[in-house]
Amino acid sequence: MIPRHPHRTEDCRAVSDILQRVGDKWTVLVVGKLGDGSMRFNELRHAIGGISQKMLTTTVRGLERDGFVTRTVFPTIPPRVEYELTDLGRELLVPVYALGEWARLNQRRVAEARMKFDAAVE
């Protein structure tokens, strides 16, 4: 099944870093939505649903910082801000989707294990 990798701790750290980067509550949702094309702030907000302004701001700012999205301000009245994935962002989507696919397929197994464990602890 699994090719046996040499597990260098430093490499694991890199994995850990990127996973932490991407592993918060909103990041993948934002990146996923932006995968469909560029979006404005509130458009994104409504598309995701349940995210507060502050969290969306922090999330997109972080993604911009790491080079995953671009932020373009049109100085119109009222202001208009477009967010779009960069090439790096789109490339990131590939492994993220692979993990997502795994998650989708194995959701049930995890849920079952969890129920079993919680029942045993009781």
Residue pair 89/63 in contact (Cβ under 8 Å)? The answer is yes
Q: Which parts of 33-52 interact with a copy of itself (CB under 8 A)?
A: 33, 35-36, 47-49
Q: Which parts of 69-98 interact with a copy of itself (CB under 8 A)?
A: 87-88, 90-98
For residue 93, the minimal CB distance to DNA (Å) is: 21
Q: Which parts of 27-86 interact with DNA (CB under 7 A)?
A: 40-43, 50-55, 57-58, 60, 71, 73, 77-81
Q: Is 90 exposed, middle or buried (0-12, 13-18, 19+ CB in 10 A)?
A: middle
The DSSP string of 68-88 is SEEEEEE--SS-EEEEEE-HH
Q: Is 55 in the site for a copy of itself (CB under 8 A)?
A: no
Q: Which does 99 bind (CB under 5 to 8 A by kind): a copy of itself, DNA, none?
A: a copy of itself
Is 109 strand, coil or helix? Answer: helix
